[in-house]
A and B are shown apart, each in its own frame.
Chain A
Amino acid sequence: MAVLLVLAPILCSAVAFATPSNRTRPSVVTVGSLVQLVLVAFALTRPHVEGLNGWLLLDPVGRIVLGFTALLFAAAGLYVPGYLAQRSERPNRIFCTCVLAFMGVLALITEAHHLGLMWVAMEASTLTAAPLLYFNRNARSLEATWKYLLLGSVGIALALLGSFFLGYAAFYTGGEPSLLLADLVQNAPNMSRSWLHAAFMVLLVGYGTKMGLAPMHTWKPDAYGEAPGLAGTLLAGALTSGAFVAILRVYRICAAAGEADFARKPMIALGLFSMLVAGVFMARQKDFKRMLAYSSVEHMGILILGIGIGGSAVFGTMLHMLNNGLTKGVLFLSAANIHRAFGSKSTDDVRGAIRRVPISAALFLAGFFAVTGSPPFGPFLSEFTILNAAVSSGQFVVAGSFLVMLVIVFMGMGSTVLLVVQGEASSSTIQPLERERVLTVAPGIFLIALVLLLGIYIPEPLDALLRSAAASLEGP
């Protein structure tokens, strides 16, 4: 089962690659993502999913990420045919192949319980995402892809160095040399502290680059700005969450070694700094896709901050990871529709979208309210839980800064979003009007409904899953 979750999408990607017709190929992506959704749903009902001698294991954190990314992939999969039909002038063989391969690689990240295997999967995700960014094949997307590729590869190379440091920390004390997560957690109390500290810092920077934490976030606005909105969905919703899972695995080893306090300080610092950078660059941001990239920087900051705060904030972080992933899907897919309808992504040209593409504009607006933590959407609940935990554990400075940043981001993002959605439509940008199609708006409606539901009611099994995920990160 564990192996099948990885192999099924990769098999589908081979089918997509072999499909000769540009017109029918996108539906392979739809079928593949739906097959994966069924497989994941089945896997989540099983109490125990394991494979390859414990190298693959579906733990509570992995279940959450695998579950919501499967939903996101299904939404993206339904969106693909409608989107690529509008871009029928471009060959989409590589695009479709890479989207499906990316799904398989992401499943591998969530399941991998061997640091080496996890690294291989993270690097593979970088590589499968690169062609998605370069879909538009112009000078700007070339620059974005080059920066993403180089920065991502260096970050991930550092993560490998950190994994070796971690292995050495255990090996030094005479432990059996192993990079299996279970062995490392077990050996953690005896690890060499200096190697462990070095390993954690290098891994935090390495996988933090993939997550897009400031100051290693510089690839993000370029990549999300130039890539198709669909690629933005996969990166901001799924890939960054995968990188966060990698950091969580390392954090768990630190917690097991009794070094959670050491690990939390840099996490709080990076989290707040990411939110600050996002807030500063979001203000007066004219390019609404770049704005979404900074929103992603902000939310990655919130996730890492939540772990840094600790206590009940860890539960809030698990919930927020889920909320953020789904909301990013709404935002990027609706932004892509607006981008296509206006042929521009700058607020100089794009105004009054509510009149031209009413459903997408409404989704964009709803997504904005959700992602900035307005009730009754899910992120409100998770951000409130994190804030509450910071206050109740006496971290008033952190809580205060967190709140201030949220307000700054709300204002900065709001001014751009309102301009796009309402604003006075300028007459100079009359383009052939593209009707909204069911396939390009339905996935967004589906996702925002989920986000709304999560803000009102968390089903019992999900609540239990979130709690056990939070408990697994607290260490013994």
Chain B
Amino acid sequence: MAEIVDPLLVVVLLINFFVLGTSRMHSIVNGSAAQGVVLGAIALFAHGKFGVASLIIAGGAVVLKGVIIPSMLFRALRDVVIRREVEPLIGFVPSLLTGAFGTALAILFAHTLPLAPEHVGTLLVPTALSTVLAGFILLTTRKKAITQVVGYLILENGIFVMGLTLVDAMPFLVEMGVLLDLLVGIFIMGIMINHIQREFASQDTTHLTQLKE
């Protein structure tokens, strides 16, 4: 299993770096979509057996994270004139470096954690941790509402990878529930982005600073 899953996990890590380093909004959304498709493939192989349930979950992940959610984000992007994330809180190179440093730490850290025999030496846990971290970096350092949503998506992707270590513990219904919650969450966020756009003629969340002490 590891010989198929590990290269795919490396792809997930590379997409993290790509998303951290690019300023084009379309590339960021595309990156998250590609990551969603790869995660679906990983889910299929990680189950070990090709049952109906694992097919549905993998398919659901691909359709949701790879097609539906990105197309919702693209729709939100359509009216925006600005196509780039300008002036993030920290630059692209520093955030890339932070991501790389975090990944190195995650790999080292995962070595010190007690892992079940079948997970020793695989990239499952380090990828999960470093993807969560990449999501956090995007969420906290970017100002555009869409980029923050993509950050949340990537964070969720990292958690999805962690969930793959427990495939047998997660019943089918719960897994579908998690995916459904994600879909509805992004849907509502999309509506909110739309309203931010209309209210301020921009998607910059720095406009959202009226409420403070």
Contacts and interface: CB of A to CB of B under 8 A. Distances in A.
Interface stretch (A153-161, A410-418, A429-437): A153-161
A168 B199 CA distance: 45
**B178, B184, B185, most chain A CB atoms within 10 A:** B185
A161 B180 CA distance: 17
A114 B139 CA distance: 29
A194 B113 contact: yes
Contacts of A130: 188, 192
Interface stretch (A16-24, A115-123, A451-459): A115-123
Interface in A279-314: 281
Contacts of A352: none
What band does the interface of chain B fall in when counting residues whose beta carbon is under 8 Å from A? 35 or more
Given A143-B210, A154-B139, A168-B166, A117 B152 contact: no
Interface in B196-213: 196, 199-200, 205, 208-211, 213
**A149, A154, A225, most chain B CB atoms within 10 A:** A154
A225 B212 CA distance: 11
Contacts of B208: 142-143, 146-147
Nearest to A178: B169
A407 interface: no
A281 B212 CA distance: 11
Nearest to A138: B199
B177 A171 contact: no
Nearest to B205: A146
Given A146-B192, A167-B169, A171-B116, A117 B174 contact: yes
Interface stretch (B49-57, B66-74, B75-83, B157-165): B157-165
B159 A161 contact: yes
Interface in A334-382: none
Given A116-B171, A120-B181, A123-B185, A145 B192 contact: yes
B45 to A, nearest CB: 18
Contact of A146 (B114, B169, B184, B196): B196
Contact of B174 (A116, A126, A147, A150): A116
Nearest to B209: A143
Contacts of A134: 192, 195
Contacts of A157: 152, 155-156, 159
Contacts of A150: 139, 148, 152, 189
A366 to B, nearest CB: 27
Contacts of B139: 150, 154
Contacts of B175: 116
Given A123-B181, A127-B185, A161 B132 contact: yes
A146 B211 contact: no
Given A127-B185, A146-B145, A149-B188, A164 B152 contact: no
Contacts of B152: 150, 153-154, 157
Contact of B163 (A131, A142, A164): A164
20 contacts: A116-B174, A117-B174, A120-B178, A120-B181, A123-B181, A127-B181, A127-B184, A142-B196, A144-B211, A145-B192, A146-B196, A149-B188, A150-B139, A153-B189, A160-B159, A165-B162, A171-B116, A221-B213, A225-B211, A281-B213
Interface of B: 113-116, 132, 139, 145, 148, 152, 155-156, 158-159, 162-163, 165-166, 168-171, 173-175, 177-178, 180-181, 184-185, 188-189, 192, 195-196, 199-200, 205, 208-211, 213
Closest 4 CB pairs of A and B: A177-B169, A116-B174, A120-B177, A143-B208
